[in-house]
Structures are given as C-alpha cells and as structure tokens.
Chain A
C-alpha cells in the first residue's frame, strides 16, 4: 500500500487515482500507523509553505514523516510537498521545512516573465537515478511561484529551463521530490510515478 499523506493541503484524489491506475493500492491517510505501515509514502501539497508546515506540526504529521523517512522506505514529495523536504523557505517570511534535504526555497528573481511558472515545460536529466532509468526527457506540468535550491548538487536529478535552470526532480537515498505534478503530466508523469512506486 502507498500512503498519500493528508494534512489538509490540496487535492489528493488525483494522486491517489494515479497510483491506483498503476496497479497499486493507495490510501489517503493522516494516521501514523497507516503511514509507518506503508510500502511507500507520497507527500502532496498545494498552497503556502508556512500553512503547510503549521498543519504538519499541529497534526503531529511532521514527526511521523521524519520517522517514516528514517525507516529508509521511499518517500516522494510532490509540488509543495517537494519544497517541504528542504531546510527552509522564504515564502511569506522565513519558515523551517522538514530538513530531509539541505537547501532553500526561494522566490523567482524579478524579471520580464510571468510568475507563477505555470504550464508544460521540458525536463533535463542532470544525473542518473533509478527514478529516471530508461526514460526520455519530455514535458511535464508545473505550477509554482517559488523554486528550490538544493545545497548538494548531487541531490539534483532533473531541471527545467524557465529563464534560469529550475529544480524539477530531487533525490537523496530514499527521499525524492518532484516540483511538477506527475499525476497531471501525461505519459511521462505516469512513467515517473511508476518508477517511484516500483521502488516501494
């Protein structure tokens, strides 16, 4: 079973359906026992970083996610869920993240382009990973106004180009993150999710 962690942020239905389409059981849950029992866990999320961390702390799920990650079982953060994996974010003030990956989440620099970065953009694979194994670079669907800057270049698995290189996929041992929505990213998105659930 793959646990979809429900902490009151965003639409979990699509993620859970996508996992089911890949032939795996998905459980949308906020229960510690379910999450610790799961073969894999997904941390989704849409909204503001500070609100998300508040919800995680108040519900006790922050500690649960950290305990889960320490088991070595695969964890995938999606969109805001990926940003939460990092040390801190400067979205509306400075907020501490889960700290599973060293790095910061920062605003797009001012420029003559539209923010949020919204729509289909092309992935560029930066280094080999079981998550990318056998896949071709292609377009995936992004919606975000802040971008992650991993401290360790080795954690950066894929980028996209939006007036600068933008972190798209990160990974360090069992912890992975995707800035785009794989569940909304057509065939390539489903292939990426399939690689992830294949590890679980």
Chain B
C-alpha cells in the first residue's frame, strides 16, 4: 500500500529561506539547500520550494538553488512560484527539480498544464489551488496572486479541469485554515479528493500531529504539506509519523 506523504514547504526569496530560522544545528539556516538536506535526514517524504522572489534576478537565483539541492537530497522535490511558461519549467526540471508547481499562471492560461504535461509527463505537473469558502455558493472559490484575487471559479470544478488537462497532482491550500493551526480543512480536502483520480496534497492549518491523521483518514488526502510547524520545531516529522503509525496509517 502507498504510504501517506509528509511534505515540508520552504518559502525562498532571492535564494534565501524567509521563514523558520530556528535551527541551531545548521551552519546557515537561511540556506535552502542546508534546510532541505536536514528535512531529508529527518525523513520528510518530499519537499516543496515556493519561490516568492519578485525580481528576475531572484528567479534566476532559484535555478542555482535547485541545482545545488538536487545534488544534496535523496527525495523528490517540487518547485513553484512565478512559473509562467514551458521554458521556465524546462529550466527548473533540467536543473534537477522533479515536479513543477503552477498556480496563477495555470488559471490565466490553462493550456500551460497540457503543454507541460505533454512535454515533461503528467507526473511533473502539480497544479496549486488556493481556495476559500464562498458563503453564497456554499462551496469553495479559487484565488490567485497569493490569495489576493478572487477568480469567480469554483475550486472543485477547477481541480477536475486541471486533472483533465494533465495535472499529475493537486496542491490544495485552504485559505480559511491557513495560519490558524486549527487543523487542515477536512471538508474542502475531502470534497476535492473524492472527485479526482490524481493525488491531492492538503495544505494549510497544521498545528498538531493529530491534524495529519485527520486529513489522511477523514479528508482522504494523499499527502499533507506544512511549513511553520516544522520550521519552528513545534513538531518533528518523526512525531507526526509516530502518531500516524499508531492510528494505522501507512508511512515510510
């Protein structure tokens, strides 16, 4: 049986990690490559780098970070943030990234999903969706530009469309749960996961180890992503996995 995956996410700006500098045992806690190697040693199953650089130079730096990371770690990693063309994808995949995350660019230009999948394979293309509950619709709406812009698109329908276009996975962030540490958004995750034949990575809201078993068992997620709780050592990957094992969830 497939193991459920635990995925730390690193926000990187101009080649430096911006959150979570709480690691005493690292020479340079701001170096994404060192942090990635640490998570590899701590048995993270995968990593996500989110590039939040605003400038062209910052983005160019990310390619170098990817190249160095690929030489250091022994688990798959995804790079997302500001990727808007097949050429951008190619540069990062060539540098050693395993998967590419696209969000706003995919909403603006859905053929980016099919073009990327045709060129590099479905397994490479992760469509990231930021979703927020819309009271009027009684379902979730897609937001872009880091959660600033409402799109008028329904999240479940957009996830299904992304799958049809060739996405290999959906990285689903609940804007309602994000930052609360009250747990993942179970209704959202479950609603999307039950409609899809591709894996769903739940994101936003992790605060305690039990939140992970909830989102795997109740939310039907295939993987769960968290940033702050791991970066600030509020819990370790090992603690999360021990809790999952005690509840009969298969982990690596």
Residues of chain A at the chain B interface (Cβ within 8 Å): 11, 13-14, 17-18, 20-21, 46-47, 114-122, 138-139, 141, 143, 161-162, 181, 183-187, 189-190
Evaluate whether A118 and B199 lie within 8 angstroms (CB atoms) in the complex, with A141-B76, A186-B74 already known. yes
Asked whether, in the complex, the Cβ of A121 is within 8 Å of the Cβ of B96, the reply is no
Within 8 Å of chain A (Cβ to Cβ): is B79?
Answer: no
Chain B's nearest CB lies how many Å from the CB of A60?
24
CB distance from B46 to the nearest CB of A (A): 8
* B123–A143 CB distance below 8 A: yes
Chain B 103-131: CB-based contact to A (< 8 A → 1; otherwise 0): 00000000000000000111100000000
Chain A residues near B120 (CB-CB < 8 A): 46
> What residues make up the interface of B, taking CB atoms closer than 8 Å to A?
1-3, 5, 40, 43, 45, 67, 70-71, 74-76, 93-96, 98, 120-123, 168-169, 197-199, 222-223, 252
**Distance of A89 Cα from B45 Cα, bound (Å):** 30
Give bound CA distance, A183 to B76, whole Å: 9
Q: Would B252 and A120 count as touching, CB distance under 8 A?
A: yes
Q: Say whether A121 contacts B3, CB under 8 Å.
A: yes
**Contact among B2, B75, B199 with A186 in the assembled complex (CB-CB below 8 Å):** B75
Contact B3 A189 (CB under 8 A): no
CB-CB < 8 A to B252: which residues of A?
A: 120, 138-139, 186
Known: A116-B123, A186-B252. A121 touches B1 (CB 8 A): yes
CA distance A144 to B71 in the complex (A): 23
Report A-chain residues with C-beta under 8 Å of the C-beta of B45: 119-120
CB-based closest 10 A-B pairs? A139-B252, A17-B71, A120-B3, A13-B96, A120-B252, A143-B123, A119-B2, A184-B76, A14-B70, A186-B74
Nearest chain A CB to B100 CB, angstrom units: 12
Structural contact, B96 and A11, CB atoms closer than 8 A: yes
**A119 and B93 in contact (CB under 8 A), knowing A46-B121, A47-B121, A161-B1?**
no
Contact of B2 among A21, A121, A185 (CB under 8 A): A121
Cβ contact within 8 Å between B94 and A116: no
Contact assessment for A139 and B3 in the assembled complex, using a CB-CB cutoff below 8 Å: yes
Contact at A119–B199, with CB atoms within 8 Å?
Answer: yes
7 A-B interface contacts by CB (under 8 A) = A13-B96, A47-B121, A118-B123, A119-B3, A120-B3, A184-B76, A185-B75
